[in-house]
Structure 1
């Protein structure tokens, strides 16, 4: 009976750092996207800006690619993960453009744990 009162290991989808699986995944993907697409000054991404929303209180950490000249404009790409899942989802009109193939491959590689920049478009 005393065993029920003892605190034990709880599996809540968070690590020792208190971060959810979705936040950990999105941090990895967002860091790689920033490094490979923007910090590297990749010309394929010069007409976009990254809007980081990893600290969302909704439980859906994400980042957006928006037009460089209209930071408040509609997102062209949304990359997000939800709740306690480490699965990363993407949607937006950018995925239907030629650059979408590369974006899809990059995000999938980074979500799987890779951090390299791959090849440019």
Structure 2
């Protein structure tokens, strides 16, 4: 009888130890390296920049951006995530602004005819601020 209780206890301890090992191995497999989300540097920087642009220019109903619509193309298979500002009345028309990053680069490129208009200086300043990590809607200082 004593031997049976000891065997039963050992069996249960073994079961619990096995469960603990399985759980520990599952947890260690799910860890990702610090800073690693599986996203390229270009996608991470463009997500941050696009969210700020949408929030500050469109969700805020900024009058300067009423003539434009935001076209998100972050999920492109070309390793070139980008967003566009297109004419509000012609969503399929030529973009007035293209903001993109390429491959593994976290450098944001900005081009398009909007940059040569009066709003261009503000757009450039906003994109530079957002791509450097400051996600505020207005330049400070």
2:104 aligned residue: 84
> After TM superposition, what 4+ stretches of structure 1 lie above 3 angstroms from structure 2?
none
**1:16 to partner: Cα distance:** 2.1
**Normalised by the size of structure 1, how large is the TM-score?**
0.85
Structure with the largest fraction of helix: 2
Unaligned runs of 5+ in 2: 1-34
**1:64 to partner: Cα distance:** 0.3
Count the aligned residue pairs.
Answer: 105
Distance 2:37 2:131 in 1: 19
**Normalised by the size of structure 2, how large is the TM-score?**
0.73
Distance 1:16 1:96 in 2: 37
Measured on the aligned residues, the alpha-carbon RMSD in Å equals 0.8
**Comparing both chains, which one has the higher relative contact order based on Cα–Cα distances under 8 Å and sequence gaps of 6 or more?**
1
Aligned counterparts, 1:35-54, within 5 A = 35-54=55-74
Provide the secondary structure at the position in 2 that maps to 1:83.
coil
**Bigger Rg over Cα:** 2
